[in-house]
Chain A
Amino acid sequence: MTNIQTKRQLNEEYKNIKYILTSTMRSRLILAMYRSPKNLEELRNELKKPSATILHGLKELETKNLIRKVQKKYQLTSNGFLLATNMIKLIENWSSINKNTSFWDNHDLKGIPKELLKNMHLLKDATYITSTTSDLSNAFNKYINLISTSKELKIIMPIYSENHFRHIIGLLNENKLNYLELVISKEILSSIRLNESLKKALLRNKKVKIICVKKNLKIFLTYSPEFMSLTLFFKDGHYDDSQILIGKSENSLKWASELYSTYKEVNHEEK
């Protein structure tokens, strides 16, 4: 195959996204009309471009059947609306990752299923907190603070940490926490069994439901009706307790609950 043919094939394959994603004018016009139909003057003011440029862009989009003119206003067609909605999702996914780039880039993401990595836009309101040299346990303290007011918690716990357990058991004993669901691996479960006080406080507690999974866990996820938090492992396999991602929006909780259910569903056995 010659290079020209290869190029043509590639052109064909990607032409649809290229058309829309490489032109600032076209994409801005679509986004402007996504909010509401606009007349030429409104578009001119919003995009701060001369009429001729805008009209040229509008003409192109009209030919592609993405917009139409109804009376004096330009509006998205149904195709245009479908496209715009998905373009916004792409932009939000991207900016949601960018907002917390070092959190995502520093860690092993294999524990997060592909489907959820493609819905990062849900986490656009989440932010991460880092421990600093002057406050080494900043992330941990934030976590303890978050769970301290929860009545209900669901946790995927990939580590055996007496420090964490101590705080959680405290909440259970003080009757602040009424329900705890804990997804753990077999190894962690056996470690808990070997510790009499943990065994009693967690395994023989009506308020606690243990879900044991065969899978090797690589995420520390906590969510309640009020917040979600996530800590991860470094790429070298070590747990990182210095960075925690926290979200409180409805969408962040939705992301967490979907992530949680993918773990809960994988061949589990209870207690």
Chain B
Amino acid sequence: MISHYDLNSDIKFLAKSEIRLKIISELQNKPKSVKDLVKTTKITYSSISSNLTKLEEHNYVTKKKNKYYLNPLSEIYYKNLMDFKMSVDLINDFNDFWNKHNIDQLSIESIQNIIDLKDSKLVKTSPLDIYKTHNTIKKKIIESRNIKAIFPYLHPEYPQLIENILENDGTVELIIPKNMFKKMILEIEEDIRKSATKNGRLKVYTTADELKLYLTLCDESMSLGLFKNDGSFDQNRILISSSEKSQKWADDLFTTMKEKM
């Protein structure tokens, strides 16, 4: 089925020329004349004019009385292309984070929506602050009323952090490996745990499969951690973001993982 995938000549036609892309982006807000375009882009008159002719031939723009108008579909094509550009930029910007890491458990949809993470920051540990990643997330969890998290490994502080949230009437939803249930969940004070479970404020989903993803969704932020290709968790890097889109991204990923179980 995938065999028919191929870059069509339209995509190539646009991507080939930065000048054409620039012209389209300039025409997005309002129609412009060649002169206007020369003025705003600082590209030479001859380049602008010859590329406009080509764009017109390919039905991307229409000329009416000296001014060039962007055709409605051109705008959609352009936006799709820019989305792709943003996703490529994002992959490159966080190269350290993705490179040599296991992304098998990111859903295809979450990868297709990867630009939702564009306002993220890469938090890295340093020799002077080797717990920076853990402490950053810990702070977010403490400040949160509700959390959703995929914890692929146990940190000794987690049971207490979860207990504190439940004690303050918050809700906790967790995806954890089956063998961690005892050490993580049963460590929470029994009364708190039982009453929270009863009224649905504590939901734990366990899996016998290996989890290869670390995800927390706090009230105002999300964070993502990955395993390295050698199988160990990369404790030195997390991607963290407080944008609304990234939180929705994390929530969708959490739901997808939950549904798989």
- Which chain A residues have a beta carbon within 8 Å of chain B's beta carbons? 1, 3, 6-7, 10-11, 13-14, 16-18, 20-22, 24, 27-28, 31, 34-35, 65, 77-79, 81-83, 85-95, 97-98, 101, 104-105, 109, 114, 117-118, 120, 235
Contact = CB atoms under 8 A, between A and B. Distances in A.
A14 B10 CA distance: 17
B112 A86 contact: yes
A117 B98 contact: no
A227 to B, nearest CB: 22
Contact of A21 (B15, B22, B41, B44): B15
B32 to A, nearest CB: 17
B8 A94 contact: yes
A42 to B, nearest CB: 13
A95 B8 contact: yes
Interface string B215-251: 0000000000000000000000000000000000000
Given A11-B18, A97-B76, A98-B8, A79 B98 contact: yes
Most buried by A among B7, B21, B83: B7
18 contacts: A3-B43, A16-B85, A17-B15, A18-B15, A27-B7, A78-B98, A78-B101, A81-B111, A85-B108, A89-B112, A90-B11, A92-B5, A95-B8, A105-B71, A105-B72, A105-B73, A117-B79, A118-B83
B21 A14 contact: yes
Nearest to A46: B3
B72 A118 contact: no
Contact of B11 (A77, A83, A91, A101): A91
A21 B11 CA distance: 7
Interface stretch (B89-97, B141-149, B166-174): B89-97
Contacts, number: 133
A20 B81 contact: no
B46 to A, nearest CB: 10
B103 interface: yes
Interface of B: 2, 5-8, 10-12, 15-16, 18-19, 21-22, 41-44, 47, 71-73, 76-77, 79-81, 83-85, 87-89, 91-92, 95, 98-103, 108, 111-112, 114
A78 B102 contact: yes
A28 B2 CA distance: 11
B19 A21 contact: no
Given A21-B12, A77-B99, A14 B18 contact: yes
Contact of B5 (A1, A88, A109): A88
B21 to A, nearest CB: 6
A90 B16 contact: no
A82 B98 contact: yes
